Amino acid sequence: MNTDRARDVIIEAVGQVAPDVEPEKLDPTLSIRDQADLDSVDFLELVAQLAEVLHADIPQADYDQLETIDLAVAYLGPRLD
């Protein structure tokens, strides 16, 4: 899976967790949680969706690697099929 596809999946997942946010307008270098106003439960839902859709194991110790869209793409890209 290429980085463009990973980015699309991440943006789609943000849109599902935070339907009032226009995820395509999020700055990829800033915190997803801050921009989308995600609480801890919303963030866990986002992580679960990403893990399910991308068939990737995301350990809790690595959640900080999902802080921004760019970090998430860099983290998930090498772990994808």
Q: Which CATH superfamily is domain 3-79 in?
A: ACP-like (1.10.1200.10)
pLDDT of residue 78 exceeding 90, the answer is no
| Domain residue extents for the chain | 3-79
Query: Residue 77 carries which side chain, given as an amino acid letter?
Result: G
Sign (positive or negative) of CA dihedral 16, 35, 22, 9: negative
Stronger pLDDT, 53 or 63, i.e. the higher one: 63
pTM: 0.88
Residue 1 has pLDDT above 70, yes or no: no
Other residues' Cβ atoms within 10 Å of the Cβ of residue 67: 16
Residue 50: how many other CB atoms lie within 10 Å: 22
pLDDT tens column, 28-52? 999 999 999 999 999 999 999 999 9
Of the pLDDT bands very low, low, confident and very high (cuts 50, 70, 90), residue 80 is low
Contacts 24+ apart (CB under 8 A), 25-34: 26/69, 28/68, 28/69, 28/70, 28/73, 29/68, 29/69, 29/70, 30/68, 31/67, 31/68, 32/66, 32/67, 32/68, 32/69, 32/72, 33/67
Confidence of residue 24 (pLDDT cuts 50, 70, 90): confident
